[in-house]
Amino acid sequence: MSEKLQKVLARAGHGSRREMEAWIAAGRVSIDGEIASLGDRIEADAKVRIDGRAISLKSAEDVICRVLAYHKPEGEICSRKDPEGRPTVFDRLPKVRDSRWVAVGRLDINTSGLLLFTSDGELANRLMHPSNEVDREYAVRTFGEIPEATVQRLRTGVMLEDGPAQFDSIKPAGGEGMNQWWHVCLREGRNREVRRLWESQEVQVSRLIRIRYGMVELPKSLPRGGWVELPMEQVNYLRKLAGLEPETRTMLAADKHSVARAQVKSAKIRRAVRKHKVTGSGKPKPSRQRS
């Protein structure tokens, strides 16, 4: 049975469906030697190339949906490559065969915390769609006294340059001196929305950490720059949110050797984190503890 070209490419992990549509419109994709067009459908035996390079296509049955939870540090950008040579969130991820990791949304360069990656481009595409309002929670550190009237305005809604916005919930979470911590939740994913909401009230945000995406929380034991693969239960929670059928397979070990393998993986993560703390001069950067 034929399927839309962009859907097949996204499922194979080459990017989100929106990215694939842009590639097709730019003439970067060919089918059986002919430049593809938006709306094209392909059969399982089609010969597809991206930028002249032949790619392998997988049916829905061949793809195992995998999801990583990554603890993004400040200073990394959510792009695969950066002309300025800045580190990216993809630098430390594990290699994946015949596919690639697709980020579910973005965090700006100065925001840290939970970022999800999946090998299933269709899942990423659906989770990022504006109609899929997934609850996101952030820990925010502000500077200065915050009047109750300001908090109430952020709850009831303020006008930003791209329309009205508000926090679904906002709760104080401690702090010392002029630095106060808050936990805020919202269901939208507009660019820098959390920061812009606070800035609309002339409040300075000195730290921003995403700590939850839906029911998936940032593991407290996960170091900055570390990743962990989600178990099938959490993968299927995300697939249900996206309206997809549950996954029945996993790459995680389920036998008596799973503990040993988990220890090896944890060691690899720690080595990767240490490796990327080294600057170009070879001197390690000072480590920072999570607040």
Q: pLDDT at position 87, please?
A: 95
Q: pLDDT at position 252, please?
A: 87
pLDDT tens track for 209-228: 999 999 999 999 999 999 99
Query: What region does 64 belong to: left with phi over 0, alpha with psi -120 to 50, or beta?
Result: beta
3-state secondary structure of 108: coil
Q: pLDDT at position 167, please?
A: 96
Q: pLDDT at position 49, please?
A: 95
Residue bearing the bigger pLDDT, 234 or 267: 234
Average pLDDT value for the chain: 86
- Where do the CATH 3.30.2350.10 domains begin and end in the chain? 67-228
CATH topology of domain 3-59: 3.10.290
CATH topology of domain 67-228: Pseudouridine synthase (3.30.2350)
For 70, counting Cβ atoms within 10 Å of its Cβ (0-12 exposed, 13-18 middle, 19+ buried), the class is buried
pLDDT tens track for 114-167: 999 998 888 988 898 888 889 999 999 999 999 999 999 999 999 999 999 999
Residue 26: count of CB within 10 angstroms of its CB: 9
Res. 270 pLDDT band, cuts 50 70 90: low
Q: pLDDT at position 23, please?
A: 95
Q: Radius of gyration over alpha carbons of the chain, in Å?
A: 21
- Active-site residue (options: 32, 82, 108, 162): 108
Q: pLDDT at position 189, please?
A: 77
Alpha-carbon torsion (28, 33, 39, 44), positive or negative: negative
Q: What is the mean pLDDT of residues 15-29?
A: 89
- Where do the CATH 3.10.290.10 domains begin and end in the chain? 3-59
Residue bearing the bigger pLDDT, 257 or 133: 133
Q: What is the mean pLDDT of residues 12-39?
A: 90
Segment holding 128, helix H or strand E: helix 121-128
Res. 277 pLDDT band, cuts 50 70 90: low
Give the N- to C-terminal CA distance of the chain in Å, as an integer. 52
Selection from 270, 136, 276, 118 nearest residue 209 by Cα: 136
Q: pLDDT at position 291, please?
A: 38
DSSP 42-106: E-TT--EEETTEE-----TTTPPP-EEEEEEPTT-BSSS--TT---BTTTTSPP-TTS--EEES-
**What is the rounded distance in angstroms from the CA atom of residue 126 to the CA atom of residue 148?**
37
Contact 67, 118 (CB under 8 A): yes
3-state secondary structure of 7: helix
Could you confirm whether 98 is annotated as catalytic?
no
Percentage of the chain lying above the pLDDT 70 cut: 86
Q: Is the pLDDT of residue 261 over 70?
A: no
pTM of the predicted protein model: 0.79
3-state secondary structure of 220: coil
Q: Is the pLDDT of residue 268 over 70?
A: no
Q: pLDDT at position 68, please?
A: 97
Q: What is the mean pLDDT of residues 57-83?
A: 88
Contact 50, 20 (CB under 8 A): no
